[in-house]
Structure 1
Amino acid sequence: MRKNWTTIRVAALLLLSLNCFAQKTENRLPDWALGGFVRSEAIDPIISPNKNSRFLDPVSKKQVAWEANDTFNPGAAIKNGKIVVLYRAEDLYGIGIGFRTSRLGYAESADGIHYTRRPKPVLYPANDVAKKYEWPGGCEDPRVAVTANGTYVVFYTEWNRDVPRLGVAHSRDLIHWKKYGPIFRKAYNGKFFNIASKSASILTQVVNGKQIIIKTHGKYWLYWGEHHVYAATSTDLINWSPLVDANGELEELMSPREGYFDSDLTECGPPALMTDKGIILFYNGKNKGGAGRDTRFNANSYCAGQALFNRDDPSKNITRLDLPFLRPMKPFEKSGQYVNGTVFIEGMAYFKKKWYLYYGCADSRVAVAVYDPAHPAPPDPATDN
């Protein structure tokens, strides 16, 4: 009997400690994480819809207001000493997220804050090899990085309103792109060609002051996935082979956690970063809407997290943040097309020794937050109180 009571007491204490841990409110970043990131209070959001932009759509043969409804979910890269943001823009023709046509717009900045936009999109559905994967839904949610020789690589969701697939395109100037179609088309005799795939974060590193795509163990490495975090490798930055387990199924490297901000989804964000401490994967955690959600955050909200993976074995997850480092706090982050609140991180650029993080706000706007390693700031607080 004494043994049973001891077991019960230990279990009760363990449950209490876990509950207290899960509900902590003080937010401090460990030494391996980047941040905190400070919002640009004076000008955010930096990109908003423009109803005056017109574009002759090559598929419908009509002039469309291509960025009139929403502008959000950006990628980012450095070109000629400036930051370029590629942002997702939805037109007016449809109702609801994913039921309009998305195209990628181009915005350029000398300071990372004030942007000049091109009047026409730079990546969009056309009468090309990718049309059957991209029309009528479009090109969504870009993540972009650059190789050491100056080739820009963008991963984006090709959405034909049937199956979302990760697509890839290359460019030398971020304006003119060569599409290569779905990245899993050839691997394992097409086994993963027709699965839903989204959100690709390629491995990068800062080398001589420039963030570039790198290889590990002789291959390029990609984290990807919306519900779970998966991985894939490539030798040519075009064709990718997903990491599989002993049964030939996708290997899950990281998954949602009950009671945390990422209780529903762990969706990959900007390019992953090789550091002295390990590989940092920046990701978007979605909170559940019901049982199992983190009660400190709004149901179904998206917050930003960081996870640490092993330098020598990129498939091995070491740890992750228990609290988001960025969460919906501003009015434009809490309200918009996505009513539950969103900071959706996709673009990050190393610029003038600072990190510029670009994110979508409630699926409606683009904002920026900056981390200055010389003057670190705290992450977002866990609660508003």
Structure 2
Amino acid sequence: MTLSPFPHAEFPLGPFTPYAGNPIMRPQGDTWESASVYNPAAIVKDDRVVLLYRAHAADIVSHVGLATSADGIHFDRHPEPVLSPSEDYDEFGCEDPRITEIDGTYYLTYSGWDHTSAQLCLATSTDLLTWTKHGPLFPEFNTFLPVGNGLPGPWSKAGGILPVPIDGRYLMYFGEGSIWYAWSEDLIHWTPCSNDEPIMTPTPPGTFGSFLVEVGPPPIITNNGLILLLHNAAVKNDDGSVYYSCGQLLFSPAEPSKILAQMNTPWLEPQAYEDKHGLVSNVTFVEGLVFFHGAWLAYYGQSDSTLGLATYTIGETYWTPGAAAAVR
């Protein structure tokens, strides 16, 4: 197995600091991205950060837009969406993309919304502009089991593909509600684990994932050969509102369905005004993670309305003795 190309990736990854100039992207114009811009996938191409972000007008029919940046902060947007509703299964939205590049091909997972069910779909490209859709990946799956979401029919979201194979097969973590996994030999056709055997379910009452857990960006291989998965987690308040923050999990490539360690406190949670106010308030939702110019950059949606950035510069630590002494 090829180990991580990132020599400074280890669990827990971070600490991440929200960028002081957030949001780095807001809605613009009066058409397809006029109401909300959020939940971006991220990848590095030709020494530029590329975001594939979710955007919509007041109709909340989502498209995927593209933006590029030389510094990871200031982005130039492509004028038109690069992925839009065109099929029965995504007629009312192409939502929440994640992206992985393997041997020159880009694999984009996204949620197709038909106004009844959300289904995890796949699209591929070699240039990030023109995409071929391959349809829903798990048409019989319900990732809200075993809890259930009270809806008929299938439900699946949030697919993150590990960019290196494990014993000749590719691994995907996926799921909203609970987290699951699937294998593929060709990156197009995927075989999921049993719908009865999630690898992570909502966390105990009183913790930050007690309502649901959901896959964040695609997993990475750390410098000690272990898989790190960032995830989004939510609690549901008595008034029906939600609060989304972000966690981390650690796996072994030898047993990628078994959690070795997890963060029990969020590494990112609503802090700024935009994190706490928007279409769905109190949400930090991470889907994009890249290593760029010596730093880890995490891109996230702020309350389903704007797009934020959090950074981790190599050398920063979660805790040092000097810092502990300073706060006494």
TM norm structure 1: 0.74
Match of 1:331 among 254, 273, 294: 273
- What's the CA shift for 1:118? 1.1
Structure 2 partner of 1:134 = 90
Structure 1 partner of 2:249 = 307
Structure 2 partner of 1:235 = 185
* Partners of 2:230 and 2:131 in 1: CA distance: 26
* Partners of 1:182 and 1:159 in 2: CA distance: 11
Q: Does the residue aligned with 1:133 lie in a helix, a strand or coil? A: helix
* Partners of 1:270 and 1:192 in 2: CA distance: 21
> CA offsets per residue over residues 290-342 of structure 1, 9 Å max, x none?
49xxxxxx962000100111231100111211100111000011101112x01
Structure richer in strand, relative to its length: 2
> CA offsets per residue over residues 240-278 of structure 1, 9 Å max, x none?
11112xxxx342101111221111111100011122162
Q: Does the residue aligned with 1:333 lie in a helix, a strand or coil? A: helix
Say if 1:32 and 1:277, in contact at 8 Å, map to a contact too: no
Match of 1:353 among 268, 283, 294: 294
Say if 1:371 and 1:377, in contact at 8 Å, map to a contact too: no
* Partners of 1:250 and 1:152 in 2: CA distance: 30
Match of 2:58 among 92, 95, 98: 92
Q: How many residues align?
A: 298
Match of 1:32 among 11, 20, 40: 11
- What's the CA shift for 1:201? 1.4
* Partners of 1:226 and 1:303 in 2: CA distance: 14
Q: Which runs of 5+ in 2 are unaligned?
A: 1-9, 143-152, 320-328
> CA offsets per residue over residues 59-116 of structure 1, 9 Å max, x none?
xxxxxx10111111110011111000011001122xxxxxx21000111000000000
* Partners of 1:286 and 1:217 in 2: CA distance: 34
Quick one: which amino acid aligns to residue 173 of structure 1? D
Structure 1 partner of 2:98 = 143
- What's the CA shift for 1:225? 0.6
- What's the CA shift for 1:217? 2.3
Say if 1:46 and 1:113, in contact at 8 Å, map to a contact too: yes
Quick one: which amino acid aligns to residue 200 of structure 2? M
Where does 1:145-224 land on structure 2 (aligned, <5 Å)? 145-147=100-102, 149-184=103-138, 191-192=140-141, 195-203=154-162, 213-224=163-174
Structure 1 partner of 2:44 = 78
Where does 1:340-379 land on structure 2 (aligned, <5 Å)? 341-376=282-317
Q: Does the residue aligned with 2:88 lie in a helix, a strand or coil? A: helix
Quick one: which amino acid aligns to residue 237 of structure 2? G
- What's the CA shift for 1:236? 1.2
Structure richer in helix, relative to its length: 1
* Partners of 2:299 and 2:256 in 1: CA distance: 25
Structure 2 partner of 1:253 = 199
Say if 2:138 and 2:156, in contact at 8 Å, map to a contact too: no
* Partners of 2:208 and 2:187 in 1: CA distance: 32
* Partners of 2:295 and 2:303 in 1: CA distance: 25
Say if 1:79 and 1:173, in contact at 8 Å, map to a contact too: no
Say if 1:153 and 1:169, in contact at 8 Å, map to a contact too: yes
Where does 1:107-118 land on structure 2 (aligned, <5 Å)? 107-118=67-78
* Partners of 1:338 and 1:325 in 2: CA distance: 20
Say if 1:86 and 1:107, in contact at 8 Å, map to a contact too: yes
From the CA coordinates, give the structure whose radius of gyration is larger. 1
Quick one: which amino acid aligns to residue 90 of structure 2? E
Identity %: 38
Match of 1:319 among 252, 255, 261: 261
> CA offsets per residue over residues 143-170 of structure 1, 9 Å max, x none?
01111x2111100001111211111111
